[in-house]
Amino acid sequence: MNNLQAKLRECRLFADKKQKDIAEYLDVTQSTYSKWEQGKAEPCSAQLVKIATFYNVTTDYLLGRENDIGLIEIKNELSTDENKLLKDFRACPAAEQRVLLDYADMLYSRVEKEKKKVERF
């Protein structure tokens, strides 16, 4: 087992996710992700970055260039509701994420229009 396939499986199990979950996030098939974990194929660099982001680790960790799990320290200034929203968003398949983003854009536009109306008076 090479480093990448071992790290992909380790991270997925640590995150308590199924292959299907991460595959949907990456917009690939479960079969493709399975091949990565089996060492039959490897993700491209863009996918590797997205995987590292999903698991909150460094790409160096996934590639075996560092032994420490390499958790990225992020100063979390989000509220509990914002954290829940982000967690729920990440759990959605890519198509549903796009719908949520479009809806958020629509709501933001509505709020901005209301602000402009208030500023005029």
Q: Structure pTM? A: 0.55
Calpha distance 121→118 (Å, rounded): 6
Span 3-62: which CATH code? 1.10.260.40
Say what the pLDDT of residue 69 is: 54
Q: What percentage of the chain exceeds 90 in pLDDT?
A: 41
Question: Can you tell me whether residue 75 is helix, strand or coil?
Answer: coil
Q: Is 17 left (phi over 0), alpha (psi -120 to 50) or beta?
A: beta
The full set of domain ranges for the chain reads 3-62, 80-120
How much is the mean pLDDT over the chain?
85
- Read off the pLDDT of residues 5-24 as tens digits, 9 standing for 90 and up: 989 998 988 888 999 999 99
- Read off the pLDDT of residues 38-90 as tens digits, 9 standing for 90 and up: 999 999 999 999 999 998 888 888 888 766 555 545 556 778 888 888 888 88
